[in-house]
Structure 1
Amino acid sequence: MTDRPIDSVIPAVVPSGGFKIRGDSRAAMKRPPLPLARLAPTRDSSAVYGLATLDVHGRVADRAVMTALGWGPGLRLGIRESGGLIIVGADRQGVFRVTREGHVRLPAVVRQWCGLTAGDRVLLAADPAAGRLVLHPPASLDAVVARVHAEALGGDEA
Structure 2
Amino acid sequence: MRRLAAVIGVADVTVASLIPPSMPPEQGQRMDRRLGAALRRPPLPLPDLPTPRAGSSVYGLAAIDVSGRIADRMIVRALGWGCGTRLHIHESAGLIVVRLDPQGVFTLTGQGHLHLPAAVRKWCGLKPGDRLLLAADPDGGVLVVHPPAALDAVVAQMHAAALGGEQHE
Q: TM-score, normalised by structure 1?
A: 0.75
Which of the two has higher C-alpha Rg?
A: 2
CA contact (8 A) 1:147 1:157 kept: no
Number of residue equivalences: 125
State the alpha-carbon separation in 2 of the partners of residues 37 and 147 from structure 1. 22
Residue of 106, 117, 127 corresponding to 2:137? 127
Residue of 107, 120, 130 corresponding to 1:97? 107
**Partner residue in 2 for 1:113:** 123
**Partner residue in 2 for 1:83:** 93
Deviation at 1:92, TM superposition (A): 0.7
Structure 1: gaps of 5 or more residues = 1-33
State the alpha-carbon separation in 1 of the partners of residues 48 and 82 from structure 2. 39
State the alpha-carbon separation in 2 of the partners of residues 98 and 157 from structure 1. 42
Q: TM-score, normalised by structure 2?
A: 0.70
After alignment, is 120-129 or 60-69 more displaced? 60-69
Deviation per CA, 1:43-70: give whole Å up to 9, x if none. 1110000000000110002111111100
**Partner residue in 2 for 1:7:** none
State the alpha-carbon separation in 1 of the partners of residues 127 and 46 from structure 2. 45
For 1:71, the aligned partner's letter is W
Query: 3-state DSSP class of the match of 1:50?
Result: strand
For 1:48, the aligned partner's letter is V
State the alpha-carbon separation in 2 of the partners of residues 55 and 114 from structure 1. 15
Give the structure with the larger strand fraction.
Answer: 1
Deviation at 1:82, TM superposition (A): 0.3
Query: 3-state DSSP class of the match of 1:79?
Result: strand
Alignment of 1:7-156 (within 5 A): 37-156=47-166
Give the structure with the larger helix fraction.
Answer: 2
Report the identity percentage: 62
Change (3 A) 1:102 1:35: farther
For 1:42, the aligned partner's letter is P
Runs of 4+ in 1 over 2 A off after TM superposition: 34-41
State the alpha-carbon separation in 2 of the partners of residues 121 and 80 from structure 1. 19
